[in-house]
Amino acid sequence: MEFLHDLTIKKFHEGLKKKKFSALEITKEFFDYINDKDKEIEAYLSLNKDFAFKQAEAADLAIAKEEDISELTGVPLAIKDNILIKGLPSTAASKMLENYTASYDATIITKLENEKAVFLGKTNMDEFAMGSSTENSAFKKTKNPYDLERVPGGSSGGSAAAVASSMAIAALGSDTGGSIRQPASFCGVVGLKPTYGAVSRFGLIAMASSLDQIGPIAKTVEDAAILFKSIAGKDKLDSTSVDAKYGDELLNPKLENIKKLKVGLPKEYFIEGLDDYAKKEIEKAIDKIKSLGIEIKEISLPHTKYALSVYYIIMTAEVSANLARFDGIRYSRLKNLEPRNLLDIYLKQKGEGFGPEPRRRAILGTYVLSSGYYDAYYSKAQKVRRLIRNDFDDAFKEVDIILTPVSPTPAFKIGEKTADPLKMYLSDIFTIPLNLAGLPGISIPVRKYEKNKELPVGFQLIGKPFQEADILGLGQFYDRIT
């Protein structure tokens, strides 16, 4: 199984073209490895063996017929369990959807199926993507492959852990406040949150609709770019999606263009509270970027201090609206509730179906939207959200990319923060502002880390809207010197 650890999308594609192996052979190898490895990691909620074998056979048939194939043909991927695949379970790691089978494909799934990618299974997550550790799943707790006593991050913890432990070549996650980037940082892999609107959200189980975005988790920045390019684009089924044009510069950046970019370091992100180990690692990343001949300067994002408060008002408000649909009539109904009337269905379904975190957020969201409090909380939060976006707009007049930490700490111990939701929420303090502003951001490991010896740390590159090429380009050159 050792060769699975070295497989990237790029290497897999080259091996497939040269017929060193078939897609079906590799898919079977992955399932054998998952059967052994996932007993300790618990990254997957469900596996799609028959489905995946059919996809792999279709990829091999296309190669046998000498058809044009993409770089994703036959590539074994893991899919976060809030992204719909027709005919397969989509639980969002909640008892509420434990018996739900998707009746249609998400748009990004359709795109990947057209490229003949292979879907190994659905990965664990915080329930309805609400959490920073994957401890809020209703079904299991995923472990960090670098230390089994620590969390993988969240909410896309299963996807990040699957890639980091070589149980998938790459994966898809969703990011509402850091849910791709933070687990990528904790698990020593690459995680990209695209610009809001760059990727269709049709078929994503919604958490907070003005913040959610689907993106790739991969072993290398180049792989993340390959996967991003395949899923990006306008979708008539998602009115918030944008027809942004992404050219060859995503996959073939030129060093002379990268050297022209200016990188900003916001003083508000390098503050007291940043873990010493994480700070030293981030400083190493800054030094390596300087070694590429790139200019770095200090900038200011003065409204950063309000981002966490603003996020937890806007996000909970949208959560309360999005969770209202799970009423016991549509989707799936919990068994053995024996309701006496319609109100009883609602009360018992929601009481039994939702875990503590979705309940907490729905209650808070209903409160901030209620009569007498809407102007004091929600309306004011939206105004401050605009100020946060203005800060970024002003900063991008001086620089092209902004570099920050991803999280104040490396991965923390399982159970360490579950008793104090506020401590858990602080895990996303450096990632949340991007979602509020709708900007692209990528988490990149500072260096290659050794499992069972070191805890990974990622740094974050933030780009201008729809300028993923800048952060992916710099990231690819950074990969080459680490």
Please tell me whether residue 320 adopts helix, strand or coil conformation: helix
Confirm whether 350 is a catalytic residue. no
Clarify whether 80 is annotated catalytic. yes
- Enumerate residues 6+ apart whose C-beta is below 8 A from 234: 200, 241, 242, 243, 244
C-alpha 447: how far from chain center: 20
The SS3 call for residue 321 is helix
Q: Point out which residues pair with 83 in neighbouring strands.
A: 204
Choosing from 179, 185, 230, 407, the catalytic residue is 179
Report the alpha-carbon distance of residue 316 to residue 211 in Å, rounded: 11
DSSP 3-state of 298: strand
99 vs 51: CA distance, rounded Å: 19
| 179 among known catalytic residues | yes
Nearest-10 Cα torsion for 170, 176, 178, 181 = 20
472 token code pair: 């992916």
CB count in 10 Å sphere of residue 143: 22
Assess contact for 88 and 103: CB atoms under 8 A: no
218-245 CB burial, b ≥16 within 10 A, e <16: bbbbbbbbbbbbbbbbebeebeebbebe
Nearest to residue 108, comparing CAs of 72, 154, 156?
72
Give the closest residue to 304 by CA, choosing from 273, 325, 277: 273
Integer Cα distance of 461 and 481 in angstroms: 17
Contact 439, 388 (CB under 8 A): no
The catalytic residue among 133, 155, 174, 443 is 155
- Residue 458 φ then ψ, to 5°: -110, 155
Rounded to an integer, what distance in angstroms lies between the CA atom of residue 265 and that of residue 403? 5
CA 378 – CA 313 distance, rounded (Å): 6
Q: Looking at 37, 80, 348, 464, which residue is catalytic?
A: 80
How far apart are the two ends of the chain, measured CA to CA in Å?
Answer: 25
Burial class (CB in 10 A: 0-12, 13-18, 19+), 252: exposed
Give the active site residues: 80, 155, 179
